[in-house]
Structure 1
Amino acid sequence: MAVTAQSRARSDVQPRLRVLQSFRTPRTTTNPYLVQLRDALGASADVRTFSWRAALLEPFDVLHVHWPEVVVERRSRVRHLAACVLFALAVRRASSRGRVLVRTVHNLAPHEEPDRASAAVLRSCDARTAWWIRLTDRTPVPDEARVTTVPHGDYVAWFADRPRAEVVPGTIAYVGLIRPYKGVEDLLDVVATMPDPGLRLVVAGSPADDETRRVLEQRAAADPRVVLDLRYLDDTALVERLTSAELVVLPYRRMHNSGALLLALSLGRPVLAPRTDVNTDLAHEVGERWVQQYDGDVSADAIRRALEAVRADPHPAPPDLSARTWPVVADGHLAAYRDALELARGRVAR
C-alpha cells in the first residue's frame, strides 16, 4: 500500500497516536534503525519504548512489534519462559478494546531456530497482528490486504558527523556483527585462494560466540593480508572501517533485507552481496555500480569482477537513497498505524 498525500494529510488532523515500540530505551549498542524510527515518529506521534508496565497496564493505541523473539530473549531459562508468558498477555491486550498490534516483518524467518516457547510467541503474535509492515514488496505476509510497504530508512544523518577515512586501494571489508549465517568464514577461505599481494581483507565486528572467534583467528593466522578487529565497534570505528574499504563484501549464506547493506550505501561504499530479487531491486533503485551481486557462494571471481566494476567508474554519483529518508519512513508507518486502527475499530469496510 503506497503512502499518499491524503494519508499524510489525514495524520495532520487526527489526534496524535500513542505508539508503544517493542524495543527498550536505546543504549549505545541499539540498532540505529530503531532509534531513528522512534525519533522520526516522535514528530507526529507520542512514542514510548517497551516495558512490561507499559505493555500490560498503561494506555496505548498501537503496539509495534519488530522481532518478537528478541522481546522474550533472556539468558536464564526461567526468565525466558516468564517473558514469554508476559509477552503473550501483552499481545492479547494489544489486540483488544480498540488497540492494535502492528508488526514489521524484517526477515523471512528468525536468524536462529527459536525454541518451543519462542515459537509459540511468534505464532501468537502472527495470529493477533492487525496490520503488517514490510520493507520490500518481495516479503510475503499472511494477508496482502493488511500490509504497508515502507522501505528501510537510511543512515546518512546518523553518521553525518563521523570522520571518514581515505579509501585504501585493494581493501575489501566485512563490518558488523559476525553470526553463522553471514558466512564470514567463507570469505576468509576465498581470500586465501587469491594470490594478489595488493589485496587486503578487514573483518571487523563482534563474533556471536567464542567458537566463532576461534575459527576466524585460526583461518586468518596464515595470511598477513587479513586484519581482524573482533570487537564491538562504536560509530566512529564503524565508519572508519567501512569508509577505508574499496569494496564492502557481505558473504551471507542467506539474505533478504540487510541493514548492513544500507549502512554501507549510506556511507558511500559499494557492496558485493548475494544475488536476490531484493538486492536486484535495490541495485535498480540506488544505481547498479553500488550493489554488485554474485550467484551461489561468494567466490574469488565475484570479488575480482566487483572490484573491476567499481574501479571502472571511480567518480560516480552518490547512491540514490531519496526514497529512504526518515520523514518518508515515518509517514509510511503512521499511515499503517491509522489503517490498522480504522480496520480494528470498524471504520473501514474491507
Structure 2
Amino acid sequence: MKIAAIRPRVSAGNAFAELFSRSLEENGFATREFSWSGLLLPRQSHVILHWPDYFFQEASADTLLRLQALKIARAIHGAKIVWVAHNISPHDNATESREMARRFLRAVDGIVHLSAHSPDLLREAFGIAPRREIVVPHGNYAPSMRLPVAAESRDFELLRLFSFGQIRRYKNLESLISCARAVRSQDLRLTISGRRMDEAVSAGLEALASGDPSIVLDLRPLALPQEELEAGVDESHAVVLPYAAINNSGAAIFALSRHRPVLAPRLGALPELLAEVGADWLRLYDGPLTSEILEDFANWLTARRPGAPPDLSARSWETIGRRLADFLASL
C-alpha cells in the first residue's frame, strides 16, 4: 500500500500543506502526519518533508540523529525520502551550513520543485545533482477557500492595501511602512496582518507605525484563521508583498486566488507567475521598494478596469496531484 508520511500533513498557518496531502489522497495514497519517533517502523512507503530547516543549518546532535534515521528507514524499510523545495535555503537563516545541506540532499530520493528555475538554484547553491526531481507549479488556493470571493471595490476614496504572512525580516515590511507613509497622491490605509515570528521585527514595525492612523497592524502570537485572512484580502484593493528575498510566494498565489492584484519585486518565481496571470494582476518592480513605486501602483489601481479573473488553471491541484503521485510511484 502507498502510504505517505508528510511533515506537516496539515498546517494551521498555511493551507498549502493540506492541499498537497489531499491531492495525493485523491490519487491513490494514504497519508498521515510524519513523526520522527515512528520513522523506523515499517508504516510508510514515502516520507515527504516540507520546510526541514534544521537540515540547512549548522549540525546539531538532534539533526545528525534525524539524518541517520532517514538513512536507516531507506535501507531497512525501503522508504523513499522526498523534499518539497519551497525555498533553496530557509528564510533568515543565520546559521546556514552548505555541508549539512549536501549531506541531507545525498540522503533524499527525490525533490519536488515548485518553479522552473528552482533546479538551477539548487545546483548553484550546493553543487549537487539530486537522484530524481520534478517541477510542479505551486498550486492555487481556491479549493481551500471558505468564503465566497468578494467583488473588487471601485470606491477609491480610501485606497486599502494589505500585506500578510509571518512577520519576519525577509518580508521587508519596515520599508513598506516607510513608503506608504510617503505616498501623497492617494488617501491610503495599509494593513499588515500576521504571526509574530520575529519579535524584534514586530516591535520595530510597531514603533514605525506608532501614532499613524493610516498604518494598521494586526500582529498575533498565532497564525490568522483562514476566514479572517480571506476577509482581509477581500477588504483590500490590492496586496503588497515587498520581499527582500523570495523563491516561491504562496501569499501572492493566495491573493490572486481571491482575485486581488499584487505588487511584488521581480525575484524568484514571480516572473513565472507574471507570465501566467499577466500585468493586469501582478505588477513587478526592480530594485528596492520606493515611495515612487508604491505611488505609481496606487495610481495604476485607481485607473485599472478589472477584467476576467486571473488564470490559475496551470496550478490546478487535480493535475498537480496526478503528477506528484506518478513521480512518487517512480522512485
Q: Counterparts of 1:1-350 in structure 2 under 5 Å? A: 16-23=1-8, 26=10, 29-43=12-26, 44-69=28-53, 81=60, 83-97=62-76, 98-113=78-93, 115=95, 122-139=101-118, 140=120, 141=122, 142-143=128-129, 146-161=132-147, 164=150, 167=153, 169=156, 170-196=159-185, 198-231=187-220, 232-276=223-267, 278-340=269-331
Distance in 1 of aligned mates of 2:198 and 2:267: 28
Q: Structure 2, unaligned stretches of length 5 or more?
A: 123-127
Q: Distance in 1 between matches of 2:149 and 2:116?
A: 35
CA-CA distance at 1:160 after TM superposition: 4.0
Structure 1 residue 302: deviation in Å?
A: 1.5
Contact 2:277–2:311 (CA under 8 A) maintained in structure 1: yes
Deviation at 1:176, TM superposition (A): 1.4
Letter in 1 for 2:46: V
Distance 1:121 1:58 in 2: 26
Whole-Å separation in 1 of the counterparts to 2:301 and 2:292: 14
Give 2:134's aligned amino acid.
T
CA distance in 1, matches of 2:315, 2:285: 25
C-alpha change, 1:67 and 1:318, in structure 2 (3 Å) is same
Q: Distance in 2 between matches of 1:248 and 1:99?
A: 41
Partner of 1:3: none
Cα 1:163–1:236 change in 2 (3 A) is farther
Looking at structure 1, the residues matched to 278 and 175 of structure 2 have their Cα atoms a distance apart, in angstroms, of 27
Count of residue pairs the alignment pairs up: 316
For residues 244-289 of structure 1, the C-alpha deviation after alignment (integer angstroms, 9 at most, x for no partner) is 1111100111111111111111111110000136212211112221
Amino acid at match of 1:281: E
How far the C-alpha of 1:56 sits from its partner, in A, is: 1.6
What secondary structure, in the 3-state scheme, does the structure 2 residue paired with 1:109 have?
A: coil
Q: What residue identity is the alignment partner of 1:103?
A: W
Deviation at 1:197, TM superposition (A): 5.3
2-structure distance, mates of 1:290, 1:336: 32
TM-score by length of 1: 0.82
Mean alpha-carbon deviation: is it higher for 121-130 or for 252-261?
121-130
Deviation at 1:178, TM superposition (A): 1.0
| CA distance, structure 1, for counterparts of residue 100 and residue 39 of structure 2 | 15
TM-score, scaled to structure 2 = 0.86
Q: Separation in 1 of the partners of 2:177 and 2:209?
A: 7
User: Structure 1 residues 159-168 or 90-99, which shifts more?
Assistant: 159-168
Preserved CA contact (<8 Å) 1:154 1:266: yes
**What's the RMSD between the two structures over aligned residues?**
2.6
Residue 82 of structure 1 and its aligned partner are, at CA, apart by 5.8
Q: Secondary structure at the match of 1:289?
A: coil
Structure 2 CA distance for partners of 1:111 and 1:277, relative to 1, 3 Å: closer
User: Secondary structure of the residue that 1:201 maps to in structure 2?
Assistant: strand
- SS state at 1:89 partner: helix
Gaps of 5+ in 1: 1-15, 74-79, 341-350
* Counterpart code for 2:136: V
CA change 1:26–1:82 in 2 (3 A) is farther
> Any conservation in 2 of the 1:95–1:130 contact (CA below 8 Å)?
no
The farther-off stretch of 275-284 and 241-250 is 275-284
Deviation >6 Å, runs of 4+:
none
